[in-house]
Amino acid sequence: MATDPNSTVRERDKTHRKILDITAELLARNGYASTSLRDISGAANMKAGSLYYHFASKDELVERVLSQGIKLVEDKVRAAIAKSPPDQPLETIRNAMIAHIQALHDSGDYAAANIRCYAHVPLDIRRRLRTVRMDYDDVWKAMLATAHDAGALRKGIDLTSLRYSLIGIMNWTLEWKRPKGQSPREQAEEFFAIVFDGAAKTD
């Protein structure tokens, strides 16, 4: 009869997390408007109205998933940068690329949900997500500026274009199936080589 309050709290957190996981998966696969509360609750073995015991609205739920999608990637990338040799800026960038692509494909569907739904989510949510995106963008801005100041980059290169090139390459991997037998890490290393060593033959 008597329930352990701690285990009850843990149960609720578990359900909480399960709902978020399911939402991430459905958002990534079907998009914002096509993901109904009934889809989500059904996959979580509950009724639509019951979601409101955990979240105040669909949009709160969505916003949490999408912002988590960035933060999970950002945390991994920050960690990879932190344990890279400070005197080897290119190696740091390489490790950041590996971390970013690995996180994209290993963080459930949170990151995919963000990338795929960002443009179509209600404006007030998007405005707040934009600041989260910019925070992560700052990580890359700083890393590339460091590499540039250290003289590791080609003279005259536009750091903004470089940053968007890298982000575009990495995020686009969500659009295609990975070539057979290639791990996210190998993928990232190949991308690094293309951008930094250059694709053209050097004589």
Residues near DNA (CB under 7 A): 11-12, 15, 35-39, 41, 45-50, 52-54, 57-59
- Name the binder of 50 from its own copies, DNA, none, CB < 5-8 A by kind: DNA
C-alpha count within 13 angstroms, C-beta hemisphere, residue 56:
4
Q: Determine the residue type at 14.
A: K
Rg (CA), the chain: 20
Please state, in angstroms and rounded to a whole number, the distance separating the CA atoms of residues 157 and 148: 9
**134 touches its own copies (CB under 8 A):** no
Which of residues 42, 49, 86, 198 is near its own copies by CB under 8 A? 198
Tally of CB atoms within 10 A around 70: 23
Which of residues 37, 65, 73, 170 is near its own copies by CB under 8 A? 170
Which of residues 8, 57, 165, 183 is near its own copies by CB under 8 A? 165
Instruction: Report in angstroms how near the CB of residue 163 gets to its own copies at its nearest.
Output: 10
**110 touches its own copies (CB under 8 A):** no
Give whole-number Cα distances, 195 to 86, 120, 158, 170, 188, in Å: 21, 31, 13, 12, 11
- Name the binder of 157 from its own copies, DNA, none, CB < 5-8 A by kind: its own copies
Positive/negative CA dihedral, 151, 194, 84, 81: positive
**114 touches its own copies (CB under 8 A):** no
Q: Give the CA-trace dihedral at 28, 33, 60, 105, to 10 degrees.
A: 0
In the bound state with its own copies, the residue whose beta carbon lies nearer, of 53 and 164, is 164
- Name the binder of 90 from its own copies, DNA, none, CB < 5-8 A by kind: its own copies
Please state, in angstroms and rounded to a whole number, the distance separating the CA atoms of residues 133 and 111: 11
Interface residue list for its own copies (CB under 8 A): 29-34, 90, 116, 119-120, 151-155, 157-158, 160-162, 164-165, 167-173, 175-176, 179, 187, 190-191, 193-202
